[in-house]
Amino acid sequence: MNPFRRPLIAGNWKMNAGGQEACVLANEVAAKTRRFDRVDVVLAPPFTAIAAVAHEVEETRGSIDVDEGFGVGVAAQNMHHLQSGAFTGEISTPMLRDAGATWVILGHSERRQHFYETDHGVALKTKAALDAEIRPIVCIGETLAEREAGETLQVIERQLRAFMAAFEPSPGFGVIAYEPVWAIGTGKVAKPEDAQEVHARIRELLAEVSEEVAEATRILYGGSVKADNAAGLLEQLDIDGALVGGASLDAEGFVKIVEAAQQVADKLAEEEGGPPSGQRNAGELDADTGADERDTGDATSSEEGAPPSSADGVPASDGAVGIEPDDDDAVDDRENT
């Protein structure tokens, strides 16, 4: 973790926790993470629960805007790259915003594998999200066969080059998640030093866009992240947080991952001579009861010297170089492996 990038912990609920269950889980996570003031938290419920979760978070925390450091963000798990049209079953960026989502997960390996999403299709969605000022969390990662063949870095580079130019107009607005496919839902996790190697290479490639993009972009690790392995991963220089799958469905376990991020961030802030954790709040925050004694007028953004956690301007519509819409590119023609 780098002291000049706010850590981000995002929970991907996948096809779980809809309706009342989603509200209960969102409420508990929002209440129990309020004391972790150095960490951004995002929840990604199913489409049907986005509005309910956004409402629950606002009731509990007062905001779904993480830029102030107090709210919990709400993400969708996918979207279409067009704003409207005859696409039965699809969801557009205006619909996501209306429901309360300001983040979106794109290119998850399950989308690539089971729904045949291509690098080009992910790039189209990334550009569309940025144009709509919805923060994309774009996933990349290699399969077990690719890893065993020594192709990890080549696969990562191919997937990243498809969309990274779209990050140029608004450094730090988009997020990347490295998720080795062989580690998702398997209980296996990359060794911290191995994950760091891939994250460092991602940052090197981002530097080809610009040094500012490379330094400002948060790169998350995903793949069986749990409370007992989170700290080791987050202590790596280029790992800025985690995209959490199954463990995000258990509020206590997810909160422990957020706590691990807070502890690493506290340590780094202390080494940099920053203010103690919680100093910006006017009062003590009661995470368990949901009582919030802070003075909302004292809310500040990221630590002094850190890159902004939101874009200063609207992402430019022509930011993605070489990405042209192709309505026939919804899926590729490779076999489902």
pLDDT digits (tens, 9 = 90+) for 80-98: 999 999 999 999 999 999 9
Is pLDDT above 50 for 304?
no
Is pLDDT above 80 for 115?
yes
> Is 215 among the residues known to form the active site?
no
pLDDT digits (tens, 9 = 90+) for 13-40: 999 999 899 999 999 999 999 999 999 9
The reply to whether the predicted model has a pTM over 0.85 is no
Distance CA 291, CA 101 (A): 25
Amino acid at 99: A
Provide the domain limits for residue 142. 8-298
> Is 21 among the residues known to form the active site?
no
In a domain, 331, yes or no: no
Q: What element of type H or E holds 57? A: helix 50-61
User: Which CATH number goes with the domain that contains 242?
Assistant: 3.20.20.70
Distance CA 289, CA 230 (A): 26
Burial class (CB in 10 A: 0-12, 13-18, 19+), 167: buried
In a domain, 30, yes or no: yes
Catalytic residue among 56, 80, 81, 108: 108
In a domain, 303, yes or no: no
In a domain, 27, yes or no: yes
Q: How far is CA 20 from CA 27, 178, 311, in A?
A: 11, 31, 34
Please, what sign has the CA dihedral across residues 47, 329, 109, 215? negative
* Total of domains in the chain: 1
In a domain, 89, yes or no: yes
Strand partners, 324: none
DSSP state of 326: -
Task: Name the residue with tokens 């009582």.
Answer: 291
Catalytic residue among 179, 199, 259, 303: 179
